[in-house]
Structure 1
């Protein structure tokens, strides 16, 4: 079963790892019976987790923290996971049949620290009766704020200006070199009006954009009304958007969603912001489009 963190466990200012570790306590205490004589083992697959988060587990569980820096090797994980009742999974190391089988029958839950789970064999976990959680309801605000920051960095050339100040190359006698593209009175498109897409849409309202377009599997009328968004086809959203945000999970339908064909329909002044997995974009086609000033 694929579960997202319960709403009651995600206060706005709570660090994501504290929430995730709280989710392990919440779920695994429901799964493991009181007949267990020893504290269940919990594998933590990153060695830079804040101690305050680890302390949440210590009352009820025995924590096993990897030593690999910055990420553990697959061999280390296979060595440590046998006998563990839970695993706090950080990063994109695959949770496949080999890992699950190495854990043995003791494994009851895998709690992933991110939203996307294309690297996790959810079907096999389900077959083995193992719960899986992700952080889909925790990271939306952070993703949205970073997406807006990236938008302004590219459109208003903030990084370019910063570098010019640091290196002493600011062009005082050149009136247009820092002129960028404003968000106001522009058409913005969002592909995927889910957790991240909707969070971005809410933050765009204050920029006085002209139109907000979105595309999803179906029309999301309630969300669309809240942010005054128009449902359009993929073809139209690529063609009309001055700024285009990608906020979709990576699957067979979205892989290489951005490719030579879709890029060719975009305005040559368009700015593309990808908050999804890299596989949503055909990198070779994107490089070619940038080199040819297609976008």
Structure 2
């Protein structure tokens, strides 16, 4: 069978051209040119009926052992157009010598912008106010109508002071906020120092903060990290903002906490599941702002992410000594056979 690359979603035009340029008599590209996800049955069919050497995927694609095994022994690289890679069975890839590429360090500032925008929108009830105008509810000036919560001078607790968490803190220092942070790895003076952030254990941070921003990675230890007990530990008027992954917050517990008045409001760019069903109670709560996972959604950042993923794909298909942006701890791509490597060498991203 002809060596095959699978692309699971429509790409920006210039990246699409570069990926399709990989095709030759010895290498074909199966391209799902749609903004809708490639259904799993088709993905498995493509994997099992082709000599797959590379997969270009998104966060919404579950690249688990079933998919990987269906690709056969020729698979060299899985490249995801994302910083997160929990949708890929990385351990399977490590065990079978398959390289895994991702797109680190590119969406930090864009995601931090969105986090602060979401925090402000939730605190100041901006979506609710805009909807009130559209519904004809703006009849006169009312002293306490649509009053929200001040951000300036508040205390903000950041759960996970990594690159994104630190970028959020830098922005909020401009609002005169006092920054607190927590995380399993303990104090991080290199990141905390420039933003004058103070380390707290989780309970202390939750009790002290007017806003709690969840910015940690999703790993086994952080799944369900913010549950019923943590929500009860927050101030009754506190705002929870999650720009991490939906699974870090126990969503059922969050719904109950909002209903009970244990916390004041929530701003969510991530949910469980995604997309969030229209029937979710969160969508009928006026003190909840839900966005469709748009943390990295600027034109510049999304185009750059797509290009980086294409570079990883090309390097893996060619059997390069290393991917440009490998997931830490994963293998270098297996050596490509002559025909496939020669075919792939014609494209660039």
Q: Provide the TM-score with structure 1 as the length reference.
A: 0.81
Instruction: Tell me the secondary structure at the aligned position of residue 71 of structure 2.
Output: helix
Residues 59 and 71 of structure 1: is their aligned pair in 2 closer, same or farther, counting only changes over 3 Å? Answer: closer
**Cα deviation code 1:223-268 (max 9, x no counterpart):** 1112111111111111111011111122221111111111111101
Q: State the partner residue of 2:135.
A: 167
Residues 185-215 of structure 1: CA deviation (Å, up to 9, x unaligned): 1000101111221221122121111x10011
- 1:52 aligned to 2:18? no
1:290 paired with 2:258, answer: yes
User: 2:30 aligns to what?
Assistant: 64
After TM superposition, the structure 1 = structure 2 runs for residues 113-262 of structure 1, keeping only pairs within 5 Å, are 113-209=81-177, 211-216=178-183, 217-262=185-230
Q: Please give the alpha-carbon distance, in whole angstroms, between the structure 1 residues aligned to 2:69 and 2:225.
A: 34
Alignment partners' CA distance in 2, 1:160 and 1:68: 33
Query: In 1, Cα distance between the equivalents of 2:257 and 2:110?
Result: 29
* Gaps in structure 2 of 5+ consecutive residues: 264-349
Give me the whole-angstrom Cα distance separating, in 1, the residues matched to 2:194 and 2:139.
Answer: 43
1:83 matched to 2:45? The reply is no
> What's the secondary structure of 2:220's corresponding residue?
coil
Q: Deviations over 1:72-123 (max 9, x none)?
A: 1111111223322211111332211111111112211111122222221111
For 2:17 and 2:159, locate their aligned partners in 1 and report how far apart those are by CA, in whole Å: 39
Separation in structure 1 between the aligned mates of residue 4 and residue 171 of structure 2, nearest angstrom: 41
CA distance in 2, matches of 1:157, 1:182: 11
Number of aligned residue pairs: give it.
255
Unpaired runs of 5+ residues, structure 1, are 1-37
**Could you tell me how far apart the structure 1 residues matched to 2:195 and 2:17 are?**
40
* Distance in 2 (alpha carbons) for counterparts of 1:171 and 1:241: 35
* SS of match in other structure, 2:79: strand
Counterpart position of 2:325: none
Matched with 2:6 is 43
State the match for 2:78 in structure 1.
110
Q: Does the CA contact (< 8 Å) of 2:37 and 2:60 recur in 1?
A: no
Aligned-residue offset at 1:69: 6.0
The answer to which structure, 1 or 2, has the higher relative contact order (CA under 8 A, 6+ apart) is: 2
C-alpha RMSD over aligned residues: 1.7
Partner SS, residue 207 of structure 1: coil
